[in-house]
Amino acid sequence: MLRKPLGQAVLATLAVLIGLAIATPTLPAASAPVTALAPVRIMPLGDSITGSPGCWRSMLWNRLQSTGYTNVDFVGTLGPQGCGQPYDGENEGHGGALVTNVANQNQLPGWLSATLPDIVLMHFGTNDVWSNVAPATILTAYGKLVDQMRASNPAMKVLVAKIIPMAPSTCSECGQRVVALNDAIPGWASAKSTAASPVVVVDQWTGFSTGSDTYDGVHPNAAGDQKMSDRWYPALTAALNGVSPTTSPTPTRTPTASPTPTRTPTTGPPTTPPTTTAPPIGGCTATYRVIGQWQGGFQAEVTVRNGSSGVFAGWAAYWSFGAGQQVNQAWNATLTQSGTNVSARNVGYNGNLAPGATATFGFLASWNGSNPVPTVTCTA
Segment 177-221, tens digit of pLDDT: 999 999 999 999 999 999 999 999 999 999 999 999 999 999 999
Please compute, for residue 35, the number of CA atoms within 13 A of its CA located in the half-sphere on the CB side.
4
For residue 277, pLDDT beyond 60: no
Whole-number pLDDT of residue 271: 38
Contact 362, 291 (CB under 8 A): yes
pTM of the model: 0.62
pLDDT of amino acid 52: 86
* pLDDT of res. 244: 52
Instruction: Check pLDDT > 90 for residue 103.
Output: yes
How far is the C-alpha of 361 from the C-alpha of 289, rounded, in Å? Answer: 11
Other CB atoms within 10 Å distance of the CB of residue 1? 2
Mean pLDDT calculated for residue range 82-95? 90
Predicted confidence (pLDDT) at residue 247 exceeds the cutoff of 60: no
Average pLDDT over residues 307-323: 91
List, for residues 331-365, the tens digit of each pLDDT value: 888 989 988 999 999 987 788 889 988 888 888 88
**CA 175, CA 166: separation in Å to the nearest integer?**
5
The confidence score (pLDDT) of residue 127 equals 94
> What is the edge-to-edge ordering of all strands in the sheet holding 275-277?
275-277, 284-294, 297-306, 358-366, 326-331
**Number of C-beta neighbours around residue 217 at 10 A:** 16
- In a 13 Å sphere around the CA of 287, the CA atoms on its Cβ side amount to 13
User: Is the distance from CB of 253 to CB of 73 less than 8 angstroms?
Assistant: yes
pLDDT tens digits, one per residue of 104-157: 999 999 999 999 999 999 999 999 999 999 999 999 999 999 999 999 999 999
Distance CA 192, CA 185 (A): 10
pLDDT-derived band at 1 (thresholds 50, 70, 90) equals very low
Residue 34 clears pLDDT 80, i.e. is over it: no
